[in-house]
Amino acid sequence: MAYNIVDARGRSCPEPVIMTKEALDIYKGETVEVKVDAMVAVENIKRYAGNLGFIVEVEESNNDYRLLIRK
C-alpha cells in the first residue's frame, strides 16, 4: 500500500495536527504515516483522526513516534 508521509518532528502544536489534516484531506485509501517527537502531538493527532473515523497505530522509537493512519 502506498504511503503519504508527514514529517512533523520539531514542530509545536497545532502544526502537526494541521499537517496531518492536510494529508487526510486528500486521503485516497493509502496509509498516512506521521512522524512526531512529542507525546502531546501523538494524543492530539490520535483524537483528531479518530474523530474522522480513522484507525491510528502508534509506534515509539527513541523518543520519536510514528503514527500510521488509515480507514
Domains and CATH numbers, the chain: 15-70 (3.30.110.40)
The model's pLDDT over 34-71, given as tens digits with 9 standing for 90+, comes to: 999 999 999 999 999 999 999 999 999 998 999 999 99
Residue 41 appears among annotated catalytic residues? no
pLDDT of residue 28: 87
pLDDT at 52: 96
Which residue in 13, 27, 30, 31 is the catalytic one?
13
Alpha-carbon span 11 to 26, nearest angstrom: 21
Q: How far is CA 71 from CA 16, 31, 33, 35, 47, in A?
A: 20, 8, 13, 18, 14
Task: Indicate whether 6 pLDDT > 90.
Answer: yes
Three cell numbers at 49?
A: 483522526
How would residue 21 be classed by pLDDT, with cut points 50, 70 and 90? very high
Q: Which residue has the cell 502508534?
A: 58
